[in-house]
């Protein structure tokens, strides 16, 4: 499947099934667009007619260009057939049957009262609760016992606000470190925090033990403070920004993300990214809000063209900053064309409900953090394991080829069918698609690939 | 004259042969948490690249 687009001054051709990326001149761009619709003679005649008054494009150039397209087709880098559909079930099986990542809901409570929170201020539509050490320890034992030969195990301390139960976080990390060698495992801990409780102790601990930290900041003060307020209604920006700056500086290059959310209040989110950069942060993530339909924060159809334009401008900004030797990272534009995921991963997706599960403070298992609170999605618990096998089967069979809407999408092997929770909330089915999210995703991929092309060509020139 | 510049990419068909070790990061575990995408994940299996 071919996808052609023009961005950043490049004519770009993606061959979805081989994963190939080509930058082409205008003649090749036109030939490729016609290649599957018309025969050689007809295409060449059309090109000669179109470029008749162009001295720099001769009939010999058109012939030569056609041969180059042919040559790439023959070596499987253009018009590669989709040969993965029949293998999809088997491919997903290969990555099923083991658990390798847990999202530990260490605290179903929060010290902020953000109106747009998908977790309903950390409570997930339930009661406030914190995880005990005993429950957390059992969750880690469950993970090790069910991880098969996987060596790298991921544990995210999530909430609510996990630092409201920081002592248990520290105890669980100490416990995990005490058992990982014996079981030949390597725990990778991450922490997602709103920053309110960050102090020197948290910084020392996280910089020693956490491979990544995710720090919630929405950008401009007035945007951040619109939603991210305490229970008295006071904004949190002034309080957390200096803490984040100190935290990031102390990380000494270890991974972190400043993670923002954009909503109907700031579809022009590039201004917020600029504020993050001005504050000295360079590892950034900016996510579209996830909320109930009709919520005031919900992104609207009118917001969509604004958001799409912002993504393009963001790509331009990244290249400008590269040239000024002030590069920054945007999570969704990280794409390693040579070292990216294999076809198994591209078909299987995030692994929610199979490789990845969320654990509530009282030890229940859910397919992921976004399903917590949806009782019918409860898979089991950390003592008995997965008992709702019917529900788990839905997730095990949930691959990109199981989603009819993805069949003809050029981006399907970049997103693997998208987020099951977003799909469920938009359509009532985990194999549906959240079409608004698809629009955003496709634009992000176009931009990410353009940035990578520009960087690759710049490296070649050097 | 070169009309097409091909950027070097991983061959997806080839990756079916030795891929699927499962050691790579879970997609949204440590960053976005609300929108899945796998394109930005790193492969951790050096043999399969």
Strand partners, A187: A153
| Domain boundary residue, one of A296, A323, A343 | A343
- Residue A116 maps to which CATH number? 3.20.20.70
Residues A63 and A196 in one domain: no
**A441 — pLDDT class (breaks 50, 70, 90):** very high
Q: Do the Cβ atoms of A440 and A311 come closer than 8 Å?
A: yes
Strand partners, A104: A157, A359
Q: Does any domain span residue A232?
A: yes
Cα-to-chain-centroid distance, residue B29: 16
pLDDT at A62 over 90: yes
Instruction: Give the pLDDT confidence of A324-346 residue by residue, as tens digits.
Output: 999 999 999 998 888 888 888 88
Give pLDDT, residue B36: 66
Residues A12 and A53 in one domain: yes
Any residues with CB less than 8 A from the CB of A87 and at least 6 apart, and which? A347, B16
Size of interface A-B (CB pairs under 8 A): 224
Q: What is the mean pLDDT of residues A64-74?
A: 97
Q: Does any domain span residue A302?
A: yes
Q: Does any domain span residue A444?
A: no
Query: Which of A251, A330, A321 is closest to A283 using CA atoms?
Result: A330
Scan residues 311-370 of A and list those with Cβ closer than 8 Å to B: 331-346, 349-351, 355-356, 368-370
pLDDT at B39 over 80: no
Q: What is the mean pLDDT of residues B26-42?
A: 71
B34 touches chain A (CB under 8 A): yes
Distance CA A444, CA A453 (A): 14
Give pLDDT, residue A97: 78
Query: Does B29 sit within 8 Å of A156, measured CB to CB?
Result: yes
Lowest mean pLDDT among A5-19, A42-56, A241-255, A403-417: A403-417
Instruction: Render A117-147 in DSSP notation, one character per residue.
Output: -TTTTTTTTS--EE--HHHHHHHHHHHHHT-
Q: What is the mean pLDDT of residues A45-67?
A: 96
Query: Which of A141, A431, A147 is closest to B22 using CA atoms?
Result: A147
| Domain boundary residue, one of A305, A326, A343 | A343
Residues A10 and A34 in one domain: yes
Query: Does A212 sit within 8 Å of B22, measured CB to CB?
Result: no
Of A95, A152, A422, the CB nearest to B44: A152
Residues A167 and A247 in one domain: yes
- φ, ψ for residue A202 (rounded to 5)? -65, -45
Per CB-CB distance under 8 Å, the chain B contacts of A340 are: 10, 39-43
Is pLDDT larger for residue A33 or for residue A407?
A33
Nearest CA in chain A to B19: A342
Q: Does any domain span residue A424?
A: no
Instruction: Give the pLDDT confidence of A365-391 residue by residue, as tens digits.
Output: 999 999 999 999 999 999 999 999 999
Q: What is the mean pLDDT of residues A265-283?
A: 97
Residues A97 and A242 in one domain: yes
Give pLDDT, residue B46: 64
Give pLDDT, residue B31: 67
Cα-to-chain-centroid distance, residue A448: 12
Residues A69 and A132 in one domain: no
pLDDT at B32 over 80: no
Give pLDDT, residue A69: 98
Residues A262 and A166 in one domain: yes
Strand partners, A20: A15
Q: What is the mean pLDDT of residues A75-95?
A: 83
DSSP secondary structure code for residue B8 in this structure:
P
**A461 — pLDDT class (breaks 50, 70, 90):** confident
Distance CA A282, CA A142 (A): 36
Of B1, B33, B43, the CB nearest to A64: B1
Nearest CA in chain B to A66: B3
Residues A172 and A318 in one domain: yes
Q: Do the Cβ atoms of A277 and A286 come closer than 8 Å?
A: no
pLDDT at A170 over 90: yes
Instruction: Render A166-215 in DSSP notation, one character per residue.
Output: HHHHHHHHHHHHHHHTTTT-EEEEEEEE-STT--HHHHHHHHHHEEEEEE
Scan residues 428-447 of A and list those with Cβ closer than 8 Å to B: 437, 440-441, 444-445
pLDDT at A182 over 60: yes
Q: Does any domain span residue A135?
A: yes
**A103 — pLDDT class (breaks 50, 70, 90):** very high
Q: Do the Cβ atoms of A191 and A157 come closer than 8 Å?
A: yes
Distance CA A263, CA A269 (A): 9
Give pLDDT, residue A123: 86
Per CB-CB distance under 8 Å, the chain B contacts of A156 are: 29-30
Q: What is the mean pLDDT of residues A67-76?
A: 96
What number of H helices and E strands is found in chain B? 1, 1
Q: Does any domain span residue A461?
A: no
Residues A113 and A41 in one domain: no
Give pLDDT, residue A91: 66
DSSP secondary structure code for residue A107 in this structure:
E
Give pLDDT, residue A95: 62
A62, A116, A149, A341: which to substitute to probe chain B, counting the most B Cβ within 10 Å?
A341
| Domain boundary residue, one of A81, A107, A135 | A81
Query: Does B9 sit within 8 Å of A338, measured CB to CB?
Result: yes
Taking phi over 0 as left and psi of -120 to 50 as alpha, with beta for the rest, A121 belongs to left
Residues A299 and A182 in one domain: yes
Q: Which residue range is the domain that position A42 belongs to?
A: 2-81
Query: Which of A371, A355, A359 is closest to A416 using CA atoms?
Result: A355
Q: Does any domain span residue A330?
A: yes
Give pLDDT, residue A409: 95
Give pLDDT, residue B1: 78
Give pLDDT, residue B48: 54
H-helix or E-strand containing A313? Answer: helix A303-323
Residues A127 and A226 in one domain: yes
pTM for this structure? 0.94
DSSP secondary structure code for residue A233 in this structure:
S
**B24 — pLDDT class (breaks 50, 70, 90):** confident
A77/chain B closest Cα distance in angstroms: 9
Q: What is the mean pLDDT of residues A67-90?
A: 91
Q: What is the mean pLDDT of residues A200-216?
A: 96
A27 touches chain B (CB under 8 A): yes
Residues A20 and A146 in one domain: no
pLDDT at B47 over 80: no
Q: Does any domain span residue A436?
A: no
A72 touches chain B (CB under 8 A): yes
- The share of chain B scoring above pLDDT 70, in percent, equals 78
Report chain A's mean pLDDT, rounded to a whole number. 94
pLDDT at A413 over 80: yes
Lowest mean pLDDT among A120-124, A280-284, A380-384: A120-124
Give pLDDT, residue A138: 98
B2, B38, B43, B48: which to substitute to probe chain A, counting the most A Cβ within 10 Å?
B38
Query: Does A18 sit within 8 Å of B13, measured CB to CB?
Result: yes
Q: What is the mean pLDDT of residues B6-19?
A: 86
Give pLDDT, residue A398: 84
Give how many domains chain A has, as a whole number: 2
Q: Could you tell me whether strands A20-24 and A101-108 are parallel, antiparallel, or unpaired per DSSP bridges?
A: unpaired
Query: Which of A259, A445, A6, A355 is closest to B24 using CA atoms?
Result: A355
H-helix or E-strand containing A15? Answer: strand A10-15
Is pLDDT larger for residue B32 or for residue A129?
A129
B47/chain A closest Cα distance in angstroms: 11
Scan residues 121-140 of A and list those with Cβ closer than 8 Å to B: none
CA atoms within 13 A on the CB side of B47: 6
Query: Does A21 sit within 8 Å of B7, measured CB to CB?
Result: yes
Give pLDDT, residue A115: 86
């Amino acid at each position: 499947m071919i996808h052609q687009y023009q961005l950043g001054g490049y004519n770009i051709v993606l061959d979805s099934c081989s994963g190939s990326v080509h930058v082409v001149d205008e003649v090749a761009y036109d030939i490729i667009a016609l290649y599957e619709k018309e025969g050689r003679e007809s295409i060449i005649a059309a090109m000669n007619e179109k470029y008749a008054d162009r001295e720099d494009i001769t009939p010999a150039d058109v012939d030569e260009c056609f041969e180059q397209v042919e040559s790439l087709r023959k070596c499987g880098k253009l018009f590669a057939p989709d040969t993965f559909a029949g293998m999809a079930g088997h491919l997903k099986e290969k990555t099923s049957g083991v658990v390798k990542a847990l999202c530990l809901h260490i605290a179903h409570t929060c010290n902020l009262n953000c109106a747009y929170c998908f977790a309903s201020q950390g409570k997930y539509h339930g009661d406030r609760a914190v995880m005990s050490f005993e429950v957390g320890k059992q969750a880690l034992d469950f993970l090790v016992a069910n991880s098969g030969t996987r060596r790298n195990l991921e544990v995210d301390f999530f909430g609510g606000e996990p630092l409201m139960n920081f002592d248990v976080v520290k105890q669980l990390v100490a416990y995990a470190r005490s058992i990982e060698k014996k079981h030949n495992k390597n725990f990778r801990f991450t922490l997602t925090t709103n920053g309110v409780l960050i102090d020197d102790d948290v910084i020392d601990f996280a910089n020693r033990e956490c491979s990544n930290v995710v720090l919630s900041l929405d950008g401009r003060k007035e945007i951040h403070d619109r939603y991210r307020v305490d229970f008295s209604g006071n904004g949190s920006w002034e309080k957390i920004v200096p803490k984040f700056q100190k935290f990031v500086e102390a990380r000494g290059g270890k991974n972190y993300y400043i993670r923002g959310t954009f909503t109907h209040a700031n579809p022009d989110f590039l201004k917020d990214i600029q504020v993050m950069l001005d504050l000295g942060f360079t590892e950034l993530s900016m996510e579209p809000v996830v909320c109930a339909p009709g919520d005031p924060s919900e992104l609207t159809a009118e917001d969509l063209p604004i958001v799409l334009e912002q993504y393009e401008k963001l790509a331009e900004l990244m290249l400008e900053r590269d040239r000024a030797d002030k590069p920054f990272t945007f999570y969704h534009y990280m794409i390693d064309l040579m070292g990216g995921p294999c076809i198994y991963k591209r078909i299987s997706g995030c692994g929610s409900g199979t490789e990845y599960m969320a654990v509530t403070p009282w030890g229940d298992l859910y397919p992921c953090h976004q399903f917590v609170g949806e009782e019918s999605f409860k898979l089991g618990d950390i003592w008995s394991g997965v008992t709702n096998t019917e529900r788990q089967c839905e997730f095990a069979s949930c691959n990109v080829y199981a989603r009819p809407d993805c069949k003809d999408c050029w981006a399907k092997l970049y997103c693997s069918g998208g987020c099951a929770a977003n799909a469920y909330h938009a359509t009532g089915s985990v194999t549906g698609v959240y079409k608004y999210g698809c629009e955003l995703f496709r634009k992000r991929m176009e931009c990410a690939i353009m940035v990578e092309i520009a960087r690759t060509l710049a490296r070649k020139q050097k | 004259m070169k009309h097409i510049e091909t950027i070097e990419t991983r061959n997806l068909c080839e990756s079916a042969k030795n891929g699927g070790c499962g050691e790579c990061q879970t997609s949204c575990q440590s960053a976005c948490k609300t929108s899945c995408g796998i394109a930005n994940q790193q492969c951790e299996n050096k043999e399969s690249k």
